[in-house]
Chains A and B, each alone.
Chain A
């Protein structure tokens, strides 16, 4: 379960007498959900962190110091995450923590990290993690609320005023459903039909028929992740509904098109990150080099497509490396101060500019409105 990634290089350095004590090493802790119900998020996160630490060490580390990654798998269990966070801080004496795949695990890690005054970069979606701002807690993924805003902005442009929603009852779907309903009024859009489905359901035609038969609905929005949105998309085409269908960033991956089927997914819109359309980005896009490099490295090493979630871990690590480099020190307090001053750092998710009031540092431009065209993602302008 525990992996330390500085093996041969530091050993060689010590043998040569070049390295002093353990001080010439930056220790980063991570607790992600590489197994359990959130495994399909946590697994790419763990892989990404291991890969990036290896890469950075091969390039000489940060400020000449090697990085040691202590990685734990909390299995999506908030209690385990708390135990691991305590162990990371007290036994492993890490200088910073990245992790917390789910909102639940993030919340337990952050309480431990805040007490011990160790900087923590969360990889989970909920806005509660950074609002109200806690001094040592940061996060990389955009919030559900921002996804809703991006979608409603796009609907507004098409003159859509009345929509139907069909949401998963899992944590992600329920949270986004609530956020969307909260923010929808600002866009002059009315939710005329509000249906839900269980994430394990096999058929949503009943709910979709109901939405279709609701008078005046001009578009349908489906917050959710896992297999639900793929089934909704298939049922949507099965019923021959012609209205625009919006999915959430929860299914922003090539896997979604494959599962829903190219024909059924055609025309589906969703807010996604630059990572998904790395090849389509303009040459002068500041995110282009970052996403291209990460995509090539990850897909070359693990032979599986990159996803938004691995990208969150990439950005968490990039933020940390950037902060330690600028701080010129790996003291937790110095890292924290430097993290808060992050400015214009291009990650896979967006361009981060933090402030004492904003520990996420992303705005709506981090999302790109994507549409499935001819069986693959394209950018909507």
Chain B
């Protein structure tokens, strides 16, 4: 029993990280149908900037805040400098631009910071909590909590606020959105700022567990993307469920089957789900009105 509990804790810890990254994908996707492959770099920047500022002597909360704000600003810069000038280009071109942005951010981080692995102290210490014979690190609770809070925030944003609906409207039909008075440029800028900020927050929360380095972004982006696809791209509920599900499948496979197959097991599940439910578990049906 305690064994199962330990596997579940392991899965929840990892799954919460995936879910946080997956949540970051949703906003930009909802605003523009673009899968932002630089999302992982935002996570990396959140961790690296916090480490850098903390090592420079700033208190941890301030360092984290700086990291989130700076990364959000970078997100805006990417939108202004790389995405906006290409407006009107097909979505695929925009996605390729985000891959370019990702390579650029990774290279820049390598030069601005360094090539070593870093971490900063966990928020509530390193003494593991013992529950029913299994253990979990307090930082895991921070990550799980962070994922839930971001999820609730996003859900409210998209369903309860005018701005959130404006974002959805922009993705649905940019021209029509403009006609009803939505400033679509602002919506895009906002969505990049929010996505980057959420990515950075994921980095801040996860770094004491996962550690950080200039090249961790791709790994985060891939797992987060897989989570978002599994749950249904663009749906915060899907991102949350998808992220946790992949984490749990990996941990249970590693625990009961073999750690050699844990990645494979997760991807088999993703393939199966997408085969029967191409929109993911919670994806919206894509009905194009002509």
Where the two chains meet, the residues of A that have a C-beta atom closer than 8 Å to any C-beta of B are 35, 37, 39-40, 43, 166, 195-198, 200-207, 209-210, 213, 226-227, 230-231, 234, 237-240, 255, 258-259, 261, 263-264, 304
Contact A40 B3 (CB under 8 A): no
Known: A239-B6, A255-B116, A263-B126. A202 touches B206 (CB 8 A): yes
Chain A CB count within 10 A is highest, among B128, B250, B263, for B128
Contact A209 B255 (CB under 8 A): yes
Known: A202-B13, A203-B209, A207-B254. A35 touches B110 (CB 8 A): yes
Q: Mark B8-40, 1 if CB is under 8 A from A, else 0.
A: 011101100100000000000000000000000
Indicate whether B215 reaches chain A with its CB closer than 8 angstroms: yes
Least CB distance from B67 to A in Å reads 19
Contact A40 B115 (CB under 8 A): yes
Contact A40 B117 (CB under 8 A): yes
Where the two chains meet, the residues of B that have a C-beta atom closer than 8 Å to any C-beta of A are 3, 6-7, 9-11, 13-14, 17, 110, 114-119, 126, 128, 135-137, 206, 209-211, 213, 215-216, 219, 223, 250-252, 254-255, 258-260, 263
Chain A residue nearest to B213 in the complex (CB): A227
Residues of B within 8 A of A264 (CB): 126
Known: A209-B3, A238-B135. A202 touches B210 (CB 8 A): yes
13 more A-B residue pairs beyond the given contacts A202-B13, A304-B116, with a C-beta to C-beta distance below 8 A: A37-B215, A39-B110, A196-B260, A198-B263, A201-B14, A209-B3, A209-B6, A210-B259, A230-B119, A238-B137, A240-B135, A255-B116, A259-B117
Interface SS majority for chain B: helix
Residues of B within 8 A of A39 (CB): 110, 115
Contact B135 A202 (CB under 8 A): no
Chain A residue nearest to B130 in the complex (CB): A240
Contact B115 A206 (CB under 8 A): no
Residues of B within 8 A of A166 (CB): 259
Contact A210 B254 (CB under 8 A): yes
A227's partner among B17, B210, B254 (CB-CB below 8 A) is: B210
Bound state CA distance, A258 and B255, in angstroms?
A: 28
Chain A residue nearest to B216 in the complex (CB): A200
Least CB distance from A197 to B in Å reads 6
Contact B126 A206 (CB under 8 A): no
Chain B residue nearest to A238 in the complex (CB): B128
